[in-house]
A and B are shown apart, each in its own frame.
Chain A
Amino acid sequence: METLLQQIVNGLVVGSVYALVALGYTMVYGILGLINFAHGEVVMIGALTALQTLLILMGVAPDMAPLLKLAIAVLVAMPVCMLLGFLMERLAYRRLRGAPRLAPLITAIGMSFLLQTLAMIIWGRNYHTFPQLISTAPMQPIPGVFVTPVQVAIVIVSALVMAGLILLVTKTRLGRAMRATAENHRVAALMGVDTNAIIALTFVIGAGLAAVAGVMFASNYGIAHYAMGFMPGLKAFTAAVLGGIGNLGGAMLGGIVLGLVEAVGAGYIETMTFGFLNSSYQDIFAFVILGIVLIFRPTGLLGERVSDRA
């Protein structure tokens, strides 16, 4: 029982980070029909930029309050990632609008590996320890189940960010323009929406969320390195598909569900397969779920029909 509860806690924490990243995928897909393969790499750039900022801050002002340092790091990482998102859209994806499907996807894959390589050049191949500025001393709300303050902070912050995004999309003029563009570019343009600006903005918002998610990932695991974004990126994409791609609520639901399935699955896979498979197979869950969802319910949990778009 304690194992189950513990894995549910872990799953919720990881799941809420997946949800943040999944939002970036789903927004871009909703508007452009493009899988922005490089989105996971934006997460990585966010984490490493924050790390770099923290290291500088610790050198310049070692006495600063830890929370303030972390806040500054996030506030530096977000604009950097937003700029990156903007540049990707402007320099590569915009030129490929209207090209056959495979062209933007191949470009996005190239972009993903380009960002990884650049990060490798800047930060090297090593794993960097990410400073734990929020306490990691475990608390025991229920005996046998450990929760750290970092984990609590991650869940709260991502809930706040997601609530903010929903408000932005559903309640503001800008959000209405975004929804109109996702519905139909041309008609939205006829109604006076600057669709190019809206599409660029979508990339920028997604990248900002990815930056926050990157800092969360790095704080949760205490490490950051050049390839850290790839797997979470794929999993977040899976989460977006699971929830119904193009659907904001779906991305959040998908993220949480995927996090839970993965954590609980990893906790029990050894007993379930009689010791044949163990928790090193954890990464398989996401791919298996992705396959099953796409084959049996390509619309996802909450989405509309998309599988026929070629």
Chain B
Amino acid sequence: MNELIEAVPFLGKRNPKLTKWLIIILALVAPLIAAYFGRSWMRILDFALLYMMLALGLNLVVGFAGLLDLGYIAFYAVGAYTWAFLASPHFGVHMPFWIVLPLGAAFAALAGIILGFPVLRLRGDYLAIVTLGFGEIVRIFMNNLNHPVNITNGPQGINALDSLNLFGWNLSQSLSFGDFKIHYLYLYYYFFLLCVVGSIIFIKRLQISRVGRAWAAMRDDELAAKAIGINVRNMKLLAFSLGATFGGVAGGLFGSFQGFVSPESFSLMESIAVLTMVVFGGMGNIAGAIVGALALTALPEILRNIALPVQEALFGTVILDPEVLRMLLLSLAMILMMLLRPAGLVPAHARYSRPELLKGGA
């Protein structure tokens, strides 16, 4: 929270208390503002919160423990498909969320350990490529496991997933008090917000705990960390599985919110997108993950709304469609951030990371 407050330009350092309340109020009224611009913006806000959870989880692996994971979206997929298998007409199973979500998280954590074990000895760039391969393998299986036994329904995906049902209270139905109606997108927003806040508190505690400090030591110098008695193997596995857990929970929430899962949502591009969010905001930094997720979910949408009419006015047709704009933005963000500001928009606090290590040669 302090990092987030300090990151706010002008006001953050002068009046932290006011800034804190401003952020809290903004988080609470954001969907009302979005609703003013239309339903689609509320959806985007909901997705921004899901991406925040993903970015927080990936930040744990990449930022805290220093393990570059390019297959992170596979854990999101595990969570989403767990929801699809256990809460949809696909197999005719409809379990309540308090079973499915933890199960999804557990499966994702297990997948994290399965990935973690063989790659323990790899470092840096090799690790990145192997995790990328893992993500692709998971996607290929999702795409092809409709034959000979139909498990994932192949590229068509699974639809009509159950929505989130909190002990009889269905979040997908708008609440109504007489004439006054609360649209279901608000309900999801506040539920996701709660999840994100919970994650932030958990990760913050984790960061300053023994485990968090062990990760930082391992990231900065693995040999030295070993020498002072840190069990590097267990710490790496813990990072993979905890990071995967966040992906799994976010995946389950995604399934329930979207009501539809298909392999297309879990492409390499999505892994890269989440990684860009972490890099853009600032690796090893909770506030950075949040700012990055928010910025890189909202910016493409804003561009879509500005760039499309401008193009139509100038050229008469749309030359760059929204998907191209998003990719362009993400890839440029990645390259330029690394070249110009490697510590990210919100550089990590000196207490948790050593920014001078980012500059020096390794």
Contact = CB atoms under 8 A, between A and B. Distances in A.
Contacts of B181: none
A295 B121 contact: yes
A280 interface: yes
B89 interface: no
B338 interface: yes
Interface string A72-88: 00000000000000000
Contacts, number: 137
B126 A105 contact: no
B320 interface: yes
Nearest to B359: A99
B48 interface: no
Contact of A116 (B129, B327, B358): B327
Nearest to A114: B331
A105 B269 CA distance: 16
Interface string A207-237: 0000000000000000000000000001001
Contacts of A113: 269, 272, 327, 330-331, 334
Contacts of A291: 118-119, 130, 133-134
Contact of A237 (B129, B147, B327): B129
Contact of B126 (A96, A102, A307): A307
* Chain B interface, DSSP helix/strand/loop, else mixed: helix
Interface in A265-310: 275-278, 280-281, 283-284, 286-288, 290-291, 294-295, 298, 307-310
Given A113-B327, A290-B129, A291-B130, A105 B335 contact: no
B136 interface: yes
Contacts of B129: 35, 234, 237, 290
B301 interface: no
A105 B68 contact: yes
Interface in B328-362: 328, 330-335, 338-339, 342, 357-362
Contacts of A298: 121-122, 126
Nearest to B120: A295
A298 B125 CA distance: 13
B123 interface: yes
Contacts of B74: none
A212 to B, nearest CB: 24
Interface of A: 34-35, 92, 95-96, 98-107, 109-114, 116-117, 120-121, 234, 237, 241, 275-278, 280-281, 283-284, 286-288, 290-291, 294-295, 298, 307-310
Closest 5 pairs (CB-CB, A-B): A110-B334, A287-B133, A114-B331, A113-B331, A110-B335
Interface of B: 62, 66, 68, 70, 118-119, 121-126, 128-130, 132-134, 136-137, 140, 143-144, 147-148, 222, 269, 272, 275-276, 279, 319-320, 324, 327-328, 330-335, 338-339, 342, 357-362
